[in-house]
Amino acid sequence: MKLSDATKEILKNFSEINPNLMITPGREIKTISTMKNILATAGVEENFPQEIAIYDLSEFLGMLSLFNKPSFAFDDKSMTINEEGTSTKSKYYFADPSILTTPQKDVKMPATEVEFTLTETDLSKTKKAAAMLQLPDISIKSVDGDIIMSAIDKKNDTANTYGVKVGTTDKKFDFHFKTEHFKMLPGDYNVHISSKLISNFRHKTKTIQYWIALENTSKYEG
């Protein structure tokens, strides 16, 4: 078996959410953050033949970077990575699944009150502003009929901010997220937010989506 560049990109992204990964048989991979406030799923080209338990995904990807054209063979306890056309290989042993933090069930998304399309540009600029201004929070708020996404510090009213209009609404709300939880791959997203403090970000061109918990300071007035 070989891994596509698209799948490697997803694995790198998932390593930023949780170093642990349990790949199950099939064409979908999932991860969940250690605090269980981010869940991500992605459809992939490869059809994985068995369970693959990885304790340190970044380490695995670093080792994989040593190969130009790797192919994979599996047994019960490990995988062998071979460099195509050479004798170069690596044996990588699976972790004990019982010590990994992995998704145990799918999210049942409740009814959503707020929906909009988030562009790659708006997502990227908001994250960059949050990093430059050292802002720990992102708000998605109704302001005079507009939906405004802002990088803020909700505990500091005099902190610098950055905001952008991402849609329109007839509802009143002020939803809060931790900036560090916005770990999505670049791209445009269909966003659905529920007052039950859960959101869904579904990539518009890739089969990847994220469920991100809202902070309990979020408010919805309807």
First-to-last C-alpha distance (Å) of the chain = 51
84-93, 118-127, 168-177: segment of lowest average pLDDT: 84-93
**Amino acid 47: pLDDT:** 95
Q: What is the CATH number of domain 114-220?
A: 3.70.10.10
**Amino acid 208: pLDDT:** 98
Tell me which architecture the domain covering 5-99 has in CATH: Box (3.70)
Domain ranges for the chain, please list them: 5-99, 114-220
As a whole number of angstroms, the distance between CA 171 and CA 220 comes to 8
**Amino acid 85: pLDDT:** 85
**Amino acid 1: pLDDT:** 86
**Amino acid 175: pLDDT:** 98
What integer is the mean pLDDT of 86-115?
Answer: 94
What integer is the mean pLDDT of 20-34?
Answer: 97
What integer is the mean pLDDT of 158-184?
Answer: 97
Residue 84 has pLDDT above 90, yes or no: no
Residue 222 has pLDDT above 90, yes or no: no
Fold match between domain 5-99 and domain 114-220: yes
What's the mean pLDDT when you consider all of the chain? 96
**Amino acid 45: pLDDT:** 95
27-36, 84-93, 115-124, 171-180: segment of lowest average pLDDT: 84-93
As a whole number of angstroms, the distance between CA 9 and CA 12 comes to 5
Residue 64 has pLDDT above 90, yes or no: yes
pTM recorded for the entire structure: 0.94
Strands (E), the chain: 21-23, 26-32, 38-48, 52-54, 70-74, 78-83, 89-93, 114-118, 137-143, 146-152, 162-168, 173-178, 189-194, 198-203, 208-213, 219-220
pLDDT tens, residue by residue, 102-125: 999 888 999 999 999 999 999 999
What integer is the mean pLDDT of 59-65?
Answer: 95
